[in-house]
Structure 1
Amino acid sequence: MTESLTESDAAGGEPAPRGRIFADLTPLRTSPDYRRLWFGNTVSWTGQGMTALAVSLQVYDLTGSAFSVGLIGACSLVPLVVFGLYGGAVADTVDRRKLGLASAFGSFLLSVLLVGVTVAGIERVGLLYGIVALQAVCFALNSPARSSMIARLLPAEQLPAANALNSMTSTTGSLVGPMLGGLIVGWWGYRAAYGVDAVTFTAALYAMWRLPAMLPERGEGTGRKRASVLDGLRFLGTRPNLRMTFLSDMCAMVLAQPRALFPVVAVLWYGGDARTTGLLVAAPALGALLGGVFSGWLGSVRRHGLAVLVAVGCWGAAVAVFGLTRQLWLGLVFLALAGAADTTSMVFRNTMLQAAVPDELRGRLQGVFIVVVAGGPRLGDFIAGSAADLTSPGVAVTGGGVACVAAVALLGLRWRGFARYDARHPEA
């Protein structure tokens, strides 16, 4: 049964859990450092979700312009792309604990600045844009450092479970944060939402402060040297399995990203309004959260490459079928299925990046990961909108889903070794 997707042995040779349904909490039980880091990130992600909504509401309140609200995304995208790569290189040079602590403290100070600006009654949209851009810089420096630590805190066989738990952190922040932010802004105003965000960052700061030193490990014959972004990209260029983790994700995020069309399809397909659009936006996130909650079975999968191909194919198929639906409940179901497939893909792609990359290069590869995650969906929004204008929303959504399935199948045929990737013997 060497070609099966799952076997009784998980990565590292430990017995895989049989019949597990809910998320594997073993990483939280066995590693106090990881437990504090996970809890701190979950709390701070929720606070960041509150601030993201509050800034959007405040910008619209000041300008009355949807375009001005859209510029918030542009203000964060450029720093994420530029500093994502740079932050990864820095994380491979310095103590990652100190980098994570400094960048988290920077985010905390920016939240405090938002409170001060609001209390002082300063109503300048440009200032809000600048703070958002600086927040993106802090995130781009923090994320590679934080992600690179996971493989040092946990044994290899626990990485899939840890990444599933991490997916629940980000999804919970995306779902719960904006809901709480809307309530708090409605009851007590913007300053209260920003203040709560500042308080939540203390959990992340405490978790980082309690970690041991995290200097990058060096291979034999290598000393301390300046980490180069180009070295990371060259390494990626010579490692087909790692390269495939990014290419497969781009198939999903670039070719089959329907979110830009949600306002249009809410009206044209379902006769709805802004509330319907909100349901469409929430459905993939809810599916992703459920994918994390019911992720216990992921620990028994050793063919991580094959799992990624299947998960991305399922994303594309679910999006394609969503494009054919004209009943809201059915459309929401398929969007939720797409979100669950995305969680599965993310868990195994991240695990491969952590297990198959030397520690001295993990930061840079995580930086590339940020660029793909940040830029891919936005490029997908542009492609989906352009295709819908040239054809129709239905053709754009269904065609994108079919294109995703076809593209990932062709990639799997071109690099067949990816489907044979064995978590017990990780090879980049």
Structure 2
Amino acid sequence: MTGSNADEERNRAVETPGSGQQAPRARRARPSATPSRKMSTRPRPQTAAPDSNSEDEIAPVQTLSVEIQPIGGIFGTPNPVMSDDDSPGLIGRMLRRRPVAPKSSEPGLLADIDFRMLWLSRLLSQTAQGALLYALLILVVDLSDRTVFNSLFVICSIIPSIAFGLPAGVVADTVPRRGLLVLLNLFRFTFMLLLVGSEVSLAGVFAATLGIWVIHQFYSPTEASVLADIVEPARYTSAQAMFNLALTISQALGLVIAAPILLRLGGPKLVFVVAGALWLVAGALTALLPALEEHRTRRRGAGRTLRQMLGDGWRFARSDRFTFEAIIDDVLVGVGMSALVVIMPFYLERVLGTSKENTVFVFAPAAFGLVMGIRLAPKLANLIGEQYLATLSLFLFALVVAALGFVEQTYDFLNDTLLFPLDQLTNAVGVSPLIFVAMLLSIPAGFASAVVNVAARSILLSRTPASLRGQVIATQGLMGNIAALIPTVMAGIATDVFGVKPVAVGIGVCIVIAAMVAHMLGRRSADLPNVVPQT
């Protein structure tokens, strides 16, 4: 009895491994149709028995578990079951990337104290400048009866750029940038003290206008360079979008809200006081920025003449294809905007049949497109790339400008072909059909101009070394002002000769042709586009 019992127990021990082999077989047949948690089940301790068949069958289960298990970012997705769609397409790739983007938990730019200080200083300084320029223009109108002084007021904003643009870029790349921003804000505050303490005169207004714009030539490239110094290169597009948003808000606060109210309450003196106070606060905010002197250690000015240093910005921009194309895209949008400003009063009277005083009302929807462009530019840049985004947005801007010359045909196409209820909308809004179409066209125009500026400036900041950023930005400003002079004058003359609508079409066509020529020149001159240092 005892021997037979021992034999029976020995037989059970031998049969147990065989029976345990059935479970691995069942588990191995299920992975292709079973959720991953089933496949990731670890083998039982019994399988460690020295049985060659058992080891051969368990090994595939272990391999599948490692390949499909979502281990810390090997595949970069929290969901391991992704193989059902072999060709997801563009939308599918976008949807799959979004949950795993490392930036989802990244704090916003305004959460960074350095960027927040710089952003607030820009908001306050630009608000002060907008309110001051509005007040100075009203003073020019009140103190003189000749329109030539209005043109002289505009010229006062162009001359400083031509005379001081390039030297200002050299200064921005040579001296400590934080100290320079503080000093320039103090200069602005001093100007306001002088205006408050003196009698208002036409000569004083023009002197103040020249002084403010001279300071601006030094402030603008320095401020943009500081932005690149305190923000990571991967976030340049978002940072530039936030910078443009601050500018848009400041224009609304300074030009539309603050200046008219302050002029009614206390006259120009009150505007000078408020502007000076805002610049004083902006100077205090820039003083809180960290020391920014890295660019000074990379200067290459030893043994070089001033003329050579003044041309550094242009030579770098001309040698780097992507920087050159981005600058040209941004400059062409500025040229187109300047030409539109000239023809818009005639366009409203001769084409839309309304008074030129309604310019702000007709093109107010452009502000909506501007804000949308600022907000969407970073996402679009991540989707198609900054270079393509800037160029395509430029073409969109040119198309919209040219469409102003076919406003009647555009209305018929939208209303009759696409069956948009424009007749009902125009009756509900109470405006003429042509004015309504012009308002609609202003939305993509504002959108495209904002996107071009954000994408182009982001390219410039990312590809320009820290020791040359100020000069390249100053070179872009100088190119924009010079390039806008001749087209602005020619647009006014051509309007009297050919009419408004042909000139609008011509502006759009010229923008496209100039962009294509500039891009061909950029590709021809840049032999090594990828050797530009990143800072």
TM-based fold match above 0.5:
yes
CA shift, 1:220, in A, is 7.2
1:214 aligns with 2:321: no
Asked if the contact 1:253–1:380 (Cα under 8 Å) also holds between the matched residues in 2, the reply is no
Residues 164-208 of structure 1 deviation map (CA, whole Å, 9 limit, x = unaligned): 111112222233311121222123211112211111112321221
Matched with 1:136 is 213
1:226-265, aligned counterparts within 5 Å? Answer: 228-254=309-335, 257-265=339-347
1:391 matched residue in structure 2: 498
Single out whichever of 93-102 and 106-115 deviates more from structure 2: 106-115
Given the alignment of the two structures, is residue 40 of structure 1 paired with residue 121 of structure 2, yes or no? yes
8 A Cα contact 2:465 2:534, kept in partner: no
CA gap of 1:220–1:36, structure 2 versus 1, over 3 A, is closer
The residue number in structure 1 matching 2:225 is 148
1:20-48, Cα deviation, whole Å (9 max, x unpaired): xxxx982212x211111101211221121
Is the 8 Å Cα contact of residues 377 and 455 (structure 2) preserved in structure 1? no
Shift of 1:222: 5.1
Question: Which residue is equivalent to 2:243?
Answer: 166
Distance 1:16 1:315 in 2: 33
Counterpart-to-counterpart distance in 1, 2:164 and 2:292: 20
Is the CA contact 1:262–1:281 (under 8 Å) kept in the aligned structure 2? Answer: no
2:139 aligned to 55, 58, 73, which one? 58
SS of 1:270 mapped into structure 2: coil
Determine if contact 2:394/2:449 at 8 Å carries over to the other structure. yes
Query: Aligned in 2, Cα 1:286/1:402: closer, same or farther, shift over 3 Å?
Result: same
Letter in 2 for 1:287: G
The total of aligned residue pairs comes to 408
What are the Cα deviations for residues 116-171 of structure 1, in whole angstroms up to 9, with x where unaligned?
A: 23xxxx24211110111011111111111111111110111111001011111222
Structure 1 residues 229 and 415, CA gap change in structure 2 (3 angstroms)? closer
Matched-pair contact (CA < 8 Å) for 2:324–2:522: no
C-alpha distance 280-382 of structure 1, shift in aligned 2 (>3 A):
farther
CA RMSD of aligned residues (A): 3.2
Q: Counterparts of 1:145 and 1:381 in 2: how far apart (Å)?
A: 28
In structure 2, C-alpha distance between the alignment counterparts of 1:304 and 1:50, rounded to whole Å:
33
Check whether the contact 1:253–1:377 (CA below 8 A) recurs between aligned residues: yes
For residue 183 of structure 1, what is the aligned residue in structure 2?
261
Secondary structure of the corresponding residue to residue 293 of structure 2: coil
- For residue 401 of structure 2, the aligned residue among 319, 328, 333 is 319
Match of 1:201 in 2: 279
TM-score if structure 2 supplies the norm length?
0.69
Cα pair 1:104 1:201 within 8 Å, conserved: yes
**Cα 1:374/1:36, change in 2 over 3 Å:** farther
Q: Deviations over 1:297-317 (max 9, x none)?
A: 245246221111101101101
The residue that corresponds to 2:436 in the other structure is: 329
Task: Quote the residue 1:402 is aligned against.
Answer: 509
**Matching residue of 1:303:** 385
1:87 alignment partner, SS class: helix
Farther off after superposition, 396-405 or 249-258: 249-258
* Distance across 2 between alignment mates of 1:379 and 1:40: 34
| Superposition TM-score, scaled by structure 1 size | 0.86
Q: CA deviation at 1:386?
A: 2.3
- How far residue 213 of structure 1 moved from its aligned partner, in angstroms, is 1.8
Is 2:318–2:522's contact at 8 Å kept on the other side of the alignment? no
* Structure whose CA Rg is larger: 2
Q: After alignment, is 273-282 or 311-320 more displaced?
A: 273-282
Contact 1:303 1:422 in 2 (8 A): no
The alpha carbon displacement at 1:376 in A equals 4.0
Contact kept, 8 Å, 1:17 with 1:297, in 2: the verdict is: no
Alignment equivalent of 1:27, drawn from 109, 129, 132: 109
1:323 partner SS: helix
Which residue of structure 1 lines up, in the alignment, with residue 166 of structure 2?
85
Picking from 335, 357, 362, the partner of 2:469 is 362
Q: Name the stretch that deviates more: 33-42 or 229-238.
A: 229-238
CA contact (8 A) 2:373 2:446 kept: yes
Identity %: 22
CA distance in 2, matches of 1:294, 1:191: 40
Whether contact under 8 Å (1:51, 1:197) holds in the other structure is yes
CA contact (8 A) 1:267 1:273 kept: yes
- 2:18 paired residue number: none
Cα gap change, 1:38 to 1:292, in 2 (>3 Å): same
Q: Which amino acid aligns with 1:163?
A: Q
The 1:218/1:206 distance shift into structure 2, 3 A limit, reads closer
Tell me how far apart the structure 2 counterparts of residues 236 and 219 of structure 1 sit (CA, whole Å): 21
Unmatched segments (≥5 aa) in structure 2: 1-86, 95-99, 409-433
Q: What residue in structure 1 maps to residue 38 of structure 2? A: none
- Residue in structure 2 matched with residue 290 of structure 1 by the alignment: 372
Q: Aligned letter for 2:202?
A: V
